[in-house]
């Protein structure tokens, strides 16, 4: 749907035809967007066990200009333990682009199993630069309750992976 009115100098027949064309293309546009979303979901590796997006960054000291957000990706490795990756995504032309991916070595060294991940808040709005997500993990798969760890990214893009303090 256009957000501006149709030009008044169009004859009524032309206006009706143009309006019909715009309205008719809406469902096709939605179908294409849904198809692209489905393709993205289908392309996701079955080894990905959890993904959390959020936080924000703006023109960082490491040379990335612009703005964007972070994403934590938990992946099952060949030995069935988990790997955790922190991705920095940039927003340009409305389309996210992965600018950097780094493994969270602290988790890899633990040989732990990620059971879940949750964002610090679910509002989708971050007042401060950075990113926080809670990672639920087990160092021994036979233990019933997981431990809670926190992946914290500060306003400079540096991270810490520590037991949650709450």
Say yes or no to pLDDT of 97 above 60: yes
Are 74 and 114 spatial neighbours (Cβ–Cβ below 8 Å)? yes
The span from the CA of 6 to the CA of 17, in Å, is 11
Residue from 161, 149, 157 nearest 56 by CA = 157
Confidence of residue 19 (pLDDT cuts 50, 70, 90): very low
Of all helices (H) and strands (E), which one includes residue 92? strand 82-92
Confidence of residue 154 (pLDDT cuts 50, 70, 90): very high
136-148 pLDDT per residue, tens: 999 999 999 999 9
Would you say how long the chain is, in residues?
166
Strands 147-153 and 159-163: antiparallel
Say yes or no to pLDDT of 17 above 70: no
The span from the CA of 58 to the CA of 45, in Å, is 29
Alpha helices in 44-131 (DSSP H): 105-110
39-90 pLDDT per residue, tens: 888 888 999 999 999 999 987 556 667 899 999 999 999 999 999 999 999 9
Q: Which residue has the higher pLDDT, 93 or 75?
A: 75
Of all helices (H) and strands (E), which one includes residue 42? helix 12-43
pLDDT above 70 coverage of the chain, percent? 73
Give backbone dihedrals phi and psi of 24, rounded to 5 degrees, phi first: -70, -30
Q: Please name every residue paired with 51 in a beta bridge, in sequence order, or none if there are none.
A: 73
């Amino acid at each position: 749907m256009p957000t501006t009115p149709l030009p008044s100098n169009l004859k009524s027949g032309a206006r009706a035809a143009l309006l019909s064309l715009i309205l008719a293309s809406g469902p096709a546009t939605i179908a294409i967007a849904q198809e692209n979303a489905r393709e993205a979901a289908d392309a996701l590796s079955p080894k990905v066990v959890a993904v959390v997006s959020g936080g924000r960054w703006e023109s960082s000291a490491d040379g990335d200009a612009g703005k964007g957000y972070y994403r934590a990706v938990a992946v099952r490795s060949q030995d069935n333990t988990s790997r955790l990756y922190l991705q920095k995504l940039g927003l340009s032309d409305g389309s996210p682009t992965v600018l950097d991916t780094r493994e969270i070595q602290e988790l890899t060294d633990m040989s732990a199993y990620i059971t879940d991940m949750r964002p610090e808040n679910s509002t989708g709005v971050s007042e401060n630069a950075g990113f926080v997500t809670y990672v639920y993990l087990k160092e021994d798969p036979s233990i019933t309750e997981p431990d809670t760890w926190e992946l914290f990214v500060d306003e400079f893009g540096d991270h810490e992976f520590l037991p949650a303090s709450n």
